[in-house]
Amino acid sequence: MPKVIMNVKLLEMSQNAIALIYVACRQCYSKEFAGDVFSDTSISLEKQEEFVKNIVASGHQSPLEHVKFTFAIEGVSRALTHQLVRHRLASYCQQSQRYVKEKDFDYIIPPVIERNIAAKDEFSKLMATIQQSYTKLLTLMGQDNLCGEIANQDARFVLPQAAETKIVATMNCRELLHFFQHRCCARAQWEICQLANKMLEICAEKLPAVFADAGAKCEALGYCPEGEKFCCGKYPLKA
């Protein structure tokens, strides 16, 4: 099986993101109507960006909820997406194991296992055995004249968390900042940490006024809140 590579593609982000955050915030403090401020071209983009940076720095985060990013993600494990979808202030659509047959399924090999020849061999053998059992179950249930979807939905019970999957995820900027705080942390599981860092790279490029300083909690705090057991050493523990 060829190596599965994580792929993260930005499908879309809110248009006029800076102006949206700017007017949403201005509406809180101004007698003016946001509908008029939005089309007021006398306020330069640079000025709006400065304003947005200050909003982010002040922790006034609700204006950030008006701007969203949608990502297509592939080449990740079901173990990853199970963690991802725990983030509730987001929308997801994931490839179904009922409607999509997992014949010749791809799988993710954790790097530590990949680097250990004996462990990789054990892992790969198990994946091959699972593939065989899955296919056999489909055949057996097919013989009972059950329709494909029912066979798929029951045969998938033997599939591993390592199975490759694809998902579309939409989060607003506030949720993204929260997601990055938790999942860019070195304490987070390696695969979701990799995903979070790829998403952060995209967000920081597209919307630096919001994401230039985003990342794990410690980046903003200047210390590690995780405690001695989990601290990666990048920042000191809280005094």
Ligand X SMILES: Cc1cc2nc3c(=O)[nH]c(=O)nc-3n(C[C@H](O)[C@H](O)[C@H](O)COP(=O)(O)OP(=O)(O)OC[C@H]3O[C@@H](n4cnc5c(N)ncnc54)[C@H](O)[C@@H]3O)c2cc1C
Binding site for ligand X (CB under 6 A): 86-89, 175, 178, 182, 187-188
**In the sheet where 164-172 sits, what is the strand order?**
7-13, 68-77, 164-172, 90-94
Separation CA 161–CA 99 (nearest Å) = 18
Nearer to ligand X, 104 or 228 (CB): 228
Nearer to ligand X, 19 or 84 (CB): 84
Nearer to ligand X, 164 or 175 (CB): 175
| Token pair belonging to 167 | 């998902």
Q: Is 183 tagged catalytic?
A: yes
Q: Which of 175, 228, 229 is nearest to 203 (CA)?
A: 175
Residue tagged active-site, from 26, 115, 183, 187: 183
Nearer to ligand X, 26 or 178 (CB): 178
Q: For the chain, what is the total number of helices (H) and then of strands (E)?
A: 11, 4
Sign of torsion over alpha carbons 140, 142, 148, 149: negative
Cβ proximity of 70 and 84 under 8 Å: no
Nearer to ligand X, 35 or 59 (CB): 59
Q: Residue 62 gets which letter from DSSP?
A: G
Output the smallest distance, CB 135 to ligand X, in A.
33
Output the smallest distance, CB 84 to ligand X, in A.
9
Output the smallest distance, CB 183 to ligand X, in A.
6
Output the smallest distance, CB 67 to ligand X, in A.
16
Who contacts 160 (Cβ-Cβ below 8 Å, separation ≥6)?
78, 107, 126, 127, 130
Computed on alpha carbons and rounded to an integer, the radius of gyration of the chain in Å comes to 22
Separation CA 37–CA 30 (nearest Å) = 10
| Token pair belonging to 60 | 């006034």
Output the smallest distance, CB 132 to ligand X, in A.
32
Cite the active site residues.
183
